[in-house]
Amino acid sequence: MKTMKKALIIALSLGAMSSTAALAADVTEASSAKHAKAATQYRQALFQLVRSNMGPLGGMAKGALPFDESVMETNAVRLEQLADMMGDYLSVDTREFDVETAAKDGLWENFSDVESKAMALKKAAQGLQAAVKAGDSSAYRGAIGEIGASCKSCHDDYKKD
């Protein structure tokens, strides 16, 4: 009986995870002005967190701050986690409502590309984590640069100036 309960729990959990992943890949239209406003606020909050974690890394890459392995590892882990959330928080198309946003229309028109760029951020963040774990200080600047390049790639295509 306990084995069946465990199997059912596992099956339900896997089903929930796979349905969440499927939802993340689909763009949905905001259902109301209130929904569009909330979706925009969440999207912007996500990018504020990205910015707060990228700032110190950029300072280190530019030589304005000394390399700090603890900060690099922590911020890279956070950026990886934030990249995983991007599909969910970017998938609500808010164009039909009057919301203040810097998102270009292409964000929802080319959503598979947006998701690819989010995964590039994740991969770059993992690269910085690997460099820190290996203690390869010669790779720090380049690994941070990869994160910055992944951010810039998305900004260039999907963020208004």
For the annotated binding site for heme c, the residues are 151, 154-155
Say if residues 117 and 150 touch (Cβ distance below 8 Å).
Answer: yes
* CA of residue 107 relative to chain centroid, distance: 14
**Count of other CB atoms within 10 angstroms of residue 49:** 15
* Residue that the structure tokens 């701050």 belong to: 65
Helix (H, G, I), strand (E, B) or coil at 96: coil
Question: What is 12-63 written as a DSSP string?
Answer: HHHHHHHHHHHHHHS-EE-SSHHHHHHHHHHHHHHHHHHHHHHHHHHHHHTT
Residues annotated in a binding site: 151, 154-155
Token pair recorded at residue 57: 């890394």
